[in-house]
Amino acid sequence: MTPLFLHPNAFRGTDTPAAARRLRRLLWMALCLVLFGCAGLGTRLLPPRIQISAIAVEQIQGLETVLRVDLRVMNGNESALHLRGVDCELFLNDKKFAAGVSAVDIRIPAFETRMIPVTVYSSVIDLVRGLVDFPKTESLSYRIKGRVRLGGNAAPSVIPFSAEGTLAAEKLRRQ
């Protein structure tokens, strides 16, 4: 016996009315599965809001400076974000200052924040160039841009972010 969807008369209308109703029901079910199944494949995630909380010089060695940047990551989504990593570039006073990556395993619940430490590296030349006006000012302007990598089969798996603002002089400290 040939299945209904392979029957040669299934699409010609020469079959019985009951078979035609079954075929229409089958097509509607398939269409609903496709439409409703694709709707649940993923929600569009908003980029997290990120601010610099602090910058600490950890080490100056040779021509390289190692800094720890504490990022406050704010999740404005209705679902939790599972962060696997952060990749960022830091600009001070509109000059490229440092770049770094950090492997993290942090879950940020919906509408909550977490602090993420990122180790960034800067050449001594970039450090001097970025801080050239520092003695004259009470604050530094910063811009940070990068990407957060998500875990847990999230779609998209990479979300870009950028933020800018000012950093008070007391936030830059040596540990």
pLDDT of residue 151: 85
pLDDT of residue 87: 95
Residue 10 has pLDDT above 60, yes or no: no
Return the percentage of the chain with pLDDT > 90, whole number: 31
Q: Per mean pLDDT, which range of 18-27, 56-65, 118-127 is the poorest?
A: 18-27
pLDDT of residue 31: 62
DSSP track, 36-105: HHHHTS-PPPPPPEEEEEEEEEEEEETTEEEEEEEEEEE--SSS-EEEEEEEEEEEETTEEEEEEEEEEE
pLDDT of residue 92: 81
pLDDT of residue 4: 52
Average pLDDT over all residues of the chain: 79
**Total-model pTM:** 0.65
- 175: pLDDT confidence band, cut at 50, 70 and 90? very low
